[in-house]
Amino acid sequence: MLQHTHESTPFLTKEHQITLLCDGLESPANVGAIFRLCDAFGIEEIIFNQEPDLTSNRLKRTARTTERTIPFRTVTDLNDALLHLKEKEYLTVALEITNQSNALSSIHSQLPNRIALVIGSERQGVSERILKQVQEVVHIEMFGKNSSMNVAQATAIALYELTKH
């Protein structure tokens, strides 16, 4: 058995109609990981509401050049971006634990082709303003004592779940 190199990996290329919206994401390592995940899962676009520091060595190391290939933009108002995506018939979904959130796995059977997934900041999660705007709020079921996980790790789980169909 031989491990594949990057050039010889036989994965299919597939683009999903998923836009990732980042609500207050700050850490260059997390932003870099988000770029890399979006490349891995064939995500169509990333929308930030804080300009990512593309000169950060930490971001560059974790992104592994995907910050150059994944379409992204920065907006001043994430709410406006969400409204625009709703008008284009995207299902708007926030990844956050709330008193009304549903397990991520429970919405899989009813997913449309177009999804706008909102992830939150490292400290505050998804803002209340955005939570009021989305159509669905989902959480990842966890079984330990900690009530949260790293935003990049949670995004990886969510994107896997949303793209596996």
The CATH number of the domain holding residue 53 is: 3.40.1280.10
Residue 87 falls inside a structural domain: yes
Residue 108 falls inside a structural domain: yes
142's tokens: 């966890």
**pLDDT score recorded for residue 107:** 81
Asked whether the beta carbons of 8 and 34 are under 8 A apart, the reply is no
Domain with 89 in it: 16-163
* Whole-structure pTM value: 0.93
Number of domains in the chain: 1
Residue 6 falls inside a structural domain: no
Q: Report, as an integer, the average pLDDT of 131-152.
A: 94
Whether residue 77 is predicted with pLDDT greater than 80 in this model: the reply is yes
